[in-house]
Structure 1
Amino acid sequence: MDRLVKADVKEVELEFVKGQKSSTTFTLTNLMHTMSVAVSLSTKNQSFFSFNKSFSIIPPLSSSSYTLLSQPSDQPPLTNPPDAVTVKTTMVPLGKANHDDLRRRFSKPGPHIFKDATLPISFLGPHVIEHLISSNTQGSDTEILLNKAISGCSGNQLTVLLESAAVSGKANLVHRLIDHGGDVNHKDSNGRSLISLAVEAGNLDVLNLLISSGCEIDNSVDHVFHYAAATNRVDLMEALFRVYRNTDSIDSVDFCGRTPIHISAIHGCTQVIRFCLSVGASPDALDINKSTPLHLAAKGGHLDTVECLLEASNYSKYALNKQGKTAFALAVENDRPNVYDSLQLGDALSRAARIGDVNGIKSCIGEGANVNGKDQNGWTPLHRAAFKGKVESVRVLLGYGAEVNDVDENGYTPLHCAVEAGHVEVALLLIGQGAKANLKSLKGMSMGVGLKSDCSKNRGCYRSSIVEAV
C-alpha cells in the first residue's frame, strides 16, 4: 500500500499579507475502506506555522479539512527548498484514540507510521513580490517564488509592483511582471513614465527592457536626458539617443529652461557634456535666468567642466546672465578660485601687468590668479609687464613669486622682452632678481654682459615674432 490518505492539493498556497495572520485550508481523504486512519501534520518552521488540528482521526472513506495558519510577519519566510506540510498517517483498528495516545504513537518511528504526503507551502500576493524586489534573492530561486506570488495578484497590483521593480534595477522581475499583465505605460504620481524612473535610478538593463517592451515617454514630463546627465551616465544617454535621436530631446528643456548640458554642468559631469556636444547639442543654450552651462559650472567650481565648455564656445565666457554676471563673476561670488584662471582672472592679471595697474595685479593674485599663468603664446604676466616697461608691475610680480627666467613658446624670457623693447630699467631690475643675461631664445637671440650700454640702442626694436595681445 502506497498511502493511507490523499490530499486534494499538490501544494498548499498561502496568501501572505504583511503584518497579518494568514490561513488556507486543504482536505485529506481516507483511502481505507474499513479502517480509520490517524493523521499527524507538521512543518519545519513550527514557530511560524500551526494547524487547527495537528492530530486527527479520519473514518474509512471519509474526508477531513485542515487549516494551515501563519503568524504575523513583515516578510514571508521564503526558503529553498520551500517549507512543506508533512502528512504522516497510521491505522487505528479501533477507530478511536485520544490526543495523547496519538502523540505517543507518532513519536515512535517504525513500520506502523506512513509518510503519505509532502505538500510544499507557496506564498502568494503582492507583498511577496515587494519582498523579492527589496531583497537580494536572485536567479532561479526568484523565478520560482515570483511565479507563485504573481498568481495571487490582480492586474492593477502587478502594475504598481512594476513601478517599484523598475526603480530596483531587477530586470528579470520587470520582465516577468510585464509578461503577466503589468502596464508598461504606467505613470507615477507625477505623471512620469517607467523609463524616467529607470533612468533616474541608473538602471541600464531595465531601461533597455522597457524600451523594447514599448514603453513611451512624454517629453513635457519625462526629462530622461536630464536624469541621465545628472549622474554622468553616458551609457544611458547613448541608449536614449538611439531611440529618440529624431526628437529634440538632447536639447530639450526642463521647467527651469535647462538643457541636459546645463544639468551636467551643475553636477560637473564632463563626460556627458562631451557626448551631448558630439551629437549636436548647443553649449550656449540659456535657461530662464539667461545662464549658460558655463555659468553653472563656474558657480559649482567644476574645473574640468569649465575647460570643456570653454573649448566648445567662444561666446559663453563673456555672456551675461539675468543679473548681468559673467561666469567668472559667479566663480568669484561663490569662492571658486580653482576656475579663475580658466575663466578670466588670468586675462585680467595680464592686462593689469601690461598697463601698470599695480592694485589690479595685487587684487587678481589675491583672488587666486596664477602669477605664472601663461596665455596662448606662452607669455606670463611678467613677460607682458617687461615688454611694456612697467617697472612697478615687474617689481610687484617678482614680489609675488613670478618666475624671472620663464620662457614662452619661442624661448623668450621676460628679460628678452625688456631688451627688445628697449626698457633698460626693467632689464636691470630683472637681472638684479636673477635673470640670466646669457640665456638664448629658441631663435638664437642672446644678450651680452654690456647690457646697460647696449639697451639704449635697442629701444623701440620689436621682433616680429612677438605680438602684443589686445
Structure 2
Amino acid sequence: MDRLVKADVKEVEIAYERSQNGSATFRITNLMHTMSVAISLSITNPSVFSFSQPFSTIPPLSSSSYTVVLSDQPPLSASADAITVKSSMLPTGKAHQDELRRLFSRPGPHVFRDATIPVYLVGPQFAEYIISNHTKIPDVSCFFNRAICGCTGTQITGLLRSAVLSGDQNLVTNLIDHGGDVNCKDSDGRSLISLAVQAGHIVAVQVLIASGCVIDGSIDKVLHYAAAINRVDLMEVLCASFEDIDVNSVDSCGRTPIHVAASRGHVEVARFCVSAGGKTEVLDCDGSSSLHLAAEKGHLEITEYLLDCSYCYIKHVVNREGKTPFSIAVDNGHSHLYDLLHIGDALQRAARLNDVNGVKSCLAEGGKG
C-alpha cells in the first residue's frame, strides 16, 4: 500500500488577521478497511503554527478534522510552510498521547509519510504585512501573489496605496495588473502620484504615469512636494509627463515651488524651476517673496542665486509686516547675509528720506536703484 491515509486538501490557506490568530481546518481519512491508523502532524515552523491535536488515531475508513493555527507573527522565509502528515498502523486501535509520540519518534518501515501540504497565508492584512516587510522577504512576489488571492477590488486598491508608499516597483505593478485603481484619491483628494512624490519613489511615479494615473493641478501640488525633498529628478519626470503642469502654481499659502526651495535652501530645485519658467518675484499670501523665506532661514547659496536671477527690486519688497529680506535676516540673526542684502535696503531708506548723500554713498558701494 502506498499510503494509509488521505488528506482532503492539496494546500491550506489561512486568512491572516492581526487582531486574532488565523486558522484553517482540513480532514484526513483512514484508507484502511480493518485497522485504525495513528496520525502525526508536524509543520515547518512549529514556533509559528500549532495543531489542535498533533497526535491522534482514526478508526477504519473514518475521517477526522484537524485545525492548524497561526499562533505568532508570520515567518519571513523564502519557502512556503508545509504540514507533514505521517501515519502508522495501530493494531490495538487505541493509544495515549505519550505512546503515539514514542511511536513516531522511532523512524522505520512502520511509519509512512502520506502527505506534504503547503500552508499559505492569504488576505489583505497579510498583503499589508508583506508590503511593510518587502525588503526582508526573498522572492516576495511569490508570497504576494498568494496573499492577494481572493482580495476584492477595493482591497486591491487600498493595498496599491501602501505599495506606492513602499516604492517597490514589482508590488505596485502587480496590484495594478490585478485591478488596482491608479486614479483613486486619498481623503484629501490627492492622487497616488502625490503620495509617490512625497515618499520620493521615482520608479513608482513612473509606473503610475505609464499606467494612466493623472493629477489635478489644483490639488496635487507635486512640484511643491518634490521641491520640499530636493528632488530635481522627480520634477523633471513630472514636467516631461504632464504638459499642463505649472511651475508657478501656488499652494494654499500662495507659495510656488521656488518659495518651497528657498525656505529649505534647495538651490538646484530653484535653478530648475527658473529654467522651466518659474518666477522668483511671486509673493505669497503674507506678501513674502522667495528671498524673504531664504533670508528667514539663513540659506546663503540660494540667497545669492535669487539675487543673481531676480529683478533688483526684490531686495526692497516688504511683506505684510513691513519687512524686507534684510530685516528678516536681522530678526533671525543671520549676519552672514547682511552684506548681500543691506546695501539695497540702505539705498531704499536713503531715497525714502530724501537723503542725497546717503543715496550717493550706497551707489558708490554698489547699490542699484
Partner of 1:32: 32
- More deviation in 86-95 or 260-269? 86-95
Report SS of the residue matched to 1:250: coil
Partner of 2:203: 205
- For residues 167 and 127 of structure 1, the distance between their equivalents in structure 2, rounded to whole angstroms, comes to 16
Deviations 1:127-186 (A, max 9, x none): 212222222535752112111111153222222222222222222222222222222122
Report SS of the residue matched to 1:157: helix
1:9·1:26 contact (CA, 8 Å) conserved in 2? yes
- For residues 246 and 124 of structure 2, the distance between their equivalents in structure 1, rounded to whole angstroms, comes to 36
Uncovered stretches (5+) of structure 1, i.e. residues with no partner: 365-374, 385-467
Amino acid aligned to 2:306? L
* Residue correspondence of structure 1 range 143-154 to structure 2 within 5 A: 143-154=141-152
Give the counterpart of 1:296 among 277, 290, 293. 293
Q: 1:134 to 1:15 in 2, by over 3 A?
A: same
Report SS of the residue matched to 1:289: coil
1:317·1:326 contact (CA, 8 Å) conserved in 2? yes
Amino acid aligned to 2:249? S
* Residue correspondence of structure 1 range 95-106 to structure 2 within 5 A: 95-106=93-104
Uncovered stretches (5+) of structure 2, i.e. residues with no partner: 351-355
Identity of aligned residues (%): 55
1:297·1:306 contact (CA, 8 Å) conserved in 2? yes
Q: 1:346 to 1:322 in 2, by over 3 A?
A: closer
Amino acid aligned to 1:168? S
Rg bigger for which structure? 1
RMSD: 2.8
Partner of 1:168: 166
Report SS of the residue matched to 1:46: coil
Deviations 1:175-204 (A, max 9, x none): 222222222122122221111111111111
Report SS of the residue matched to 1:20: coil
Deviation at 1:42, TM superposition (A): 1.4
- More deviation in 106-115 or 49-58? 49-58
Report SS of the residue matched to 1:137: helix
- For residues 127 and 344 of structure 1, the distance between their equivalents in structure 2, rounded to whole angstroms, comes to 59
Partner of 2:178: 180
- More deviation in 231-240 or 292-301? 292-301
2:292·2:324 contact (CA, 8 Å) conserved in 1? yes
TM-score (norm 1): 0.70
Partner of 1:332: 330
Give the counterpart of 1:247 among 230, 238, 244. 244
Give the counterpart of 1:285 among 272, 282, 287. 282
Report SS of the residue matched to 1:42: strand
Deviations 1:302-334 (A, max 9, x none): 111111111111231222323332222221222
1:340·1:346 contact (CA, 8 Å) conserved in 2? no
Deviation at 1:55, TM superposition (A): 2.0
Deviations 1:1-41 (A, max 9, x none): 43222222222211111141221011222333444322111
Report SS of the residue matched to 1:6: strand
Deviations 1:192-244 (A, max 9, x none): 11111111111111111111111121212111100001111001100110112
Which structure's relative contact order is higher, taking Cα pairs within 8 Å and 6+ residues apart?
2
Partner of 1:425: none
TM-score (norm 2): 0.89
2:185·2:191 contact (CA, 8 Å) conserved in 1? yes
Matched, 1:63 2:90: no
- For residues 55 and 122 of structure 2, the distance between their equivalents in structure 1, rounded to whole angstroms, comes to 27
Q: 1:63 to 1:43 in 2, by over 3 A?
A: same
- For residues 76 and 343 of structure 1, the distance between their equivalents in structure 2, rounded to whole angstroms, comes to 60
Partner of 2:128: 130
Matched, 1:276 2:269: no
Report SS of the residue matched to 1:344: helix
